[in-house]
A and B are shown apart, each in its own frame.
Chain A
């Protein structure tokens, strides 16, 4: 199959129960892909939001796609709490692996280096650490009574994000959103939606190359114009504040969320 696929074809590797890593709310969130996953009804995801999320995690949780959520925070920012996330956690419908931002970055860095763990400062004495039985505290072998936390590598099955531009070789321009590169390095497969594909080689231009994820790491690309909407795409377009406010209002109740999904997810046709 060619690297460039339809959205549904590209997302076919995201099957029930996999570990999926997605970027934070301002970093190229694949919202068109998220709507496609909800339409398909993917289930039991172990969702890793690096290191936080907003509407994307809230929608996936509200639509019943998530079994485990590993992140540092989910919030709609100035629009307040993420309502479907909050409700699901209080009802015990989603298993939480509460983290702290640098722990998620570090655990993915361990994966990209192919090492089993990464040490991190901080955390000791917190309940974040207390409730993470997969994290360990050791005495630093290079110190003298210097306890330090070890985080096991996070090796996601799939990294999924949205970016402004790809070329015909599968190289994806991510600009300064470097965590997208870490996500791709750390994951077994990487699926990217883009605004457009240009007939050129991004790696031929040093100005682009420095901000490019090489096609070597990319398994599937789908074109999804305005694919981060209603969230922003850095250096490309701003958030749709009005629509986000509409979501916050509708998702405040279970019924309102269903209505939102019916109107803006299920009814939306995707090329």
Chain B
């Protein structure tokens, strides 16, 4: 079956989520939300009652009853296994910038702010970074402002951090303070990734292509996940999943 880039990215993110108890997804994150719900559908097929999926901003898809702090209290206790973050800038050491570009006293660009990143990046075991604009503007040698640090001194309490970065061009993993190129998405090349990445990264001598989602995965996304997404992300759901061949029909 043919597929859209969003479906490829969601499939890859779902693989990274793995078999965990609780995945939380922040606001304005339709691709990670697709991935989290896909992981839940896969869990159902295996007879597992997990993962729990919390989609922030959707009362229907969260169980919180103790206000905005409950998410962070949960995370501090290790009750959230996977979270997603992005950044106006991301650097090769895994630092993310959600605040500003330029000198702090006189910034040239201002982003919304750090949200929960300065905390969640430290206490959620698997943080998956996603950035659908892969360019030297976004993937930089050094961020101008550290909203959350990619790694910490050994004595700093840290039970979490980045494990991967997925972009519109490729997939990196993150370990020991460095990114490693794992695969390049269909239609893209290693040379192109090097050209558009502002930081150095590890890579094997032969970099495989990111595998296409299987028909089974596409069917799950289109027939099971899309209807659950439609209320929270109507525009995204219409663009990616509507008027497309359904596995049930095709």
Seen from chain A, the residues whose Cβ lies within 8 Å of a Cβ on chain B are: 24, 26-27, 50-52, 71-75, 77-78, 81-82, 85-86, 89-90, 92, 98-103, 105-106, 109, 120-131, 145-148, 176-182, 234-235
Given contacts A86-B110, A131-B104, contact A100 B145 (CB under 8 A): no
Interface residues of B in 60-115 (CB under 8 A from A): 64-70, 72-73, 76, 98-99, 104, 106-115
Beta-carbon contact of B113 and A178 below 8 Å = no
- Distance between A79 CB and nearest chain B CB, rounded to angstroms: 10
Beta-carbon contact of A98 and B113 below 8 Å = yes
- Specify the chain B residue showing the minimal Cβ separation from A88: B110
Residue B155, interface by CB 8 Å: yes
Residue contacts A-B, CB under 8 angstroms, 13 given: A77-B27, A85-B110, A90-B107, A92-B106, A109-B69, A122-B118, A122-B148, A124-B122, A125-B146, A126-B147, A127-B99, A176-B67, A179-B69
Beta-carbon contact of B156 and A73 below 8 Å = no
Bound complex: CA of A105 vs CA of B73, how far in Å?
10
Beta-carbon contact of A73 and B69 below 8 Å = no
Bound complex: CA of A121 vs CA of B123, how far in Å?
8
Beta-carbon contact of B155 and A146 below 8 Å = yes
Beta-carbon contact of B152 and A124 below 8 Å = yes
Residues of chain A within 8 A of B111, CB atoms compared: 81
Residue B48, interface by CB 8 Å: no
Beta-carbon contact of B68 and A24 below 8 Å = yes
Beta-carbon contact of B110 and A98 below 8 Å = no
- Distance between B56 CB and nearest chain A CB, rounded to angstroms: 9
- Distance between B235 CB and nearest chain A CB, rounded to angstroms: 8
- Specify the chain B residue showing the minimal Cβ separation from A71: B113
Beta-carbon contact of B147 and A101 below 8 Å = no
Given contacts A52-B115, A120-B119, A131-B104, contact A125 B156 (CB under 8 A): yes
Beta-carbon contact of B69 and A123 below 8 Å = no
- Which of A24, A106, A121, A181 makes the CB contact (< 8 A) with B122? A121
Beta-carbon contact of B146 and A102 below 8 Å = no
Residues of chain A within 8 A of B68, CB atoms compared: 24, 27, 50-51, 101, 105, 179
